Structure formats: C-alpha cells, structure tokens
Amino acid sequence: MRLAIHGVTGRMGQAVTRIAASEGISIVGAIASSGSAGLGRDAGEIAGAGAVGTIVTADAASGLLGSDVVIDFSQPAALPHLLKLAMREKIAVVSGTTRLDATGERLLDEAAKIVPVLWAANTSLGVQVLAELVTLAVQKLGLGFDVEIVETHHRAKIDAPSGTAERLRLAVEEARGELHRVAGREGNVGPRKPDEIGVLAMRGGDVIGDHTIHLLGHGERLELTHRATNRDLFARGALRAARFLHGKPAGRYTMADLLRG
C-alpha cells in the first residue's frame, strides 16, 4: 500500500506518519496547508520518525501522485479539493476531518461512487465498539432510562461538542429517534423532559478525549466510558482503515465495516 497523508504537519498527521514509518508503510505523499512551517521538509523528520524520503508540499495534486490511499486529518475547507483530486486520480480516501459542511458531506457521497471512502468522526476501534454498545444498551433499557453524554477534552480544543460526542448521540438515536439535544442547562429550567439527551462539554488540561454515556434509571445507572490516553490510537485506527480500503470497490465504508472485516 502506497500512502499519502493530507494534513501531514498537524498532530494527527504526524502521528500517522510516525506509526506508518515504524510499520514499514511506503509514504509517497505528504500534503500540508500553504501556510505550514513544515513545507519543503521531510515528513518523517517533522514527525520525529527520521527521514522517509517524502517532502511536504502544499500542492495536493502532486502530493497524491503514486498513492493508493490518502489519510486525511485536515480542515473542513480543505477536504472538498482533496476529494475531487481523489476522484480524478482514483485514490481511496480515509478521512477523520470533522465539522463538515453540506458541500463536504455531498462530496463524500459523490467520491464514493468512484473510489472507496471511509469517513469517521473518530477512527478509534474502541469508540466504534462503544457506539455499538450504546445503541444496544438504549434498546434494552428502553424509555425508563434517561441518556446524557459528557465529553472532556484539552483546553485548546476549539469546537464543542466533539465529533465523537455527536457520533455517540447518533448511536443513541438509532434506538430512540425521538430525543432532542440539550447542550447545557442553567437557571430555572424545570424538570428534565423525557425526550431530552444532554450533550455536555468539559474543557481543561491536556485531556486527549474522554466520553461517557450515562443511562440513568430509577435506583440504578449504567455508565459506558471510553478514554483516549494517546493520539496514536486514532492514527492506528486510520492506518487499519487504509489497509481495509486498499483494493476495495468504490463505496461508502464505516469503522463498523472494518470491524466486520
């Protein structure tokens, strides 16, 4: 598998580079934004993995040349251009970029008609299993249990709630579609409504990412938690997804498909 990395100088891009290099994966493309300080440098050296022989470029078209799969951890505004190039060059796409607008969502579907595409708000295998467990638990426990989601991230995170929290909310709604999101509570809000699902964000320190789903019943409660202690776990999941997509026919794939093999 010949790999290109889009967003290569970011924290996730560097993690993907470092782990891919340690596993002997051929990194043939390294793409960053035009304002990146890493342009013109070896991608492996930026990631602390030693030279991999691939220079970081802002030209996505040249950065994709010769690749079978591109892993994208970039910005929402950069993804549409990447998808158009991937369609043209017939390159599979694994993307963990969140907060996509309608254009980005539409282009994911369009690209999937031509190449294999796997987009995930979180490329952790554990989070995928958590989402499946959440759907099952909500189905089994039924209307007698209230559902709340609490996510915690480092103080520098700029968006809330996290994409993973939104993914888990959708997992809840697979079982109980009548719920509507409440982002916070303050003042005399009255008793909790039965059709609410609270999605609450905590920020501080250097927390990589913690997500807990609270299922609160009468006399008992169930808490399902995933804690990320190192960003490498997301990079490993993305690389596993890239291997999974390599050679697959065009279509939209998910982390659930990966776990099914």
Reply yes or no on whether 193 is catalytic: no
Please tell me the distance from the alpha carbon of residue 196 to that of residue 91, in angstroms, as a whole number.
42
Catalytic-role residue among 6, 153, 211, 226:
153
Known active-site residue 6: no
Tokens of 1: 């598998």
Nearest by Cα to 5 from 42, 24, 31: 31
Which among 243, 248, 175, 166 is positioned nearest to 211, based on CA atoms?
166
Q: Which two tokens stand for residue 205?
A: 């320190």
Please provide the size of the chain in residues: 261
Catalytic residue among 84, 157, 246, 248: 157
In angstroms, rounded to a whole number, what is the distance separating the alpha carbons of residues 168 and 23?
31
Three-class SS of residue 66?
coil
Catalytic residue numbers?
153, 157
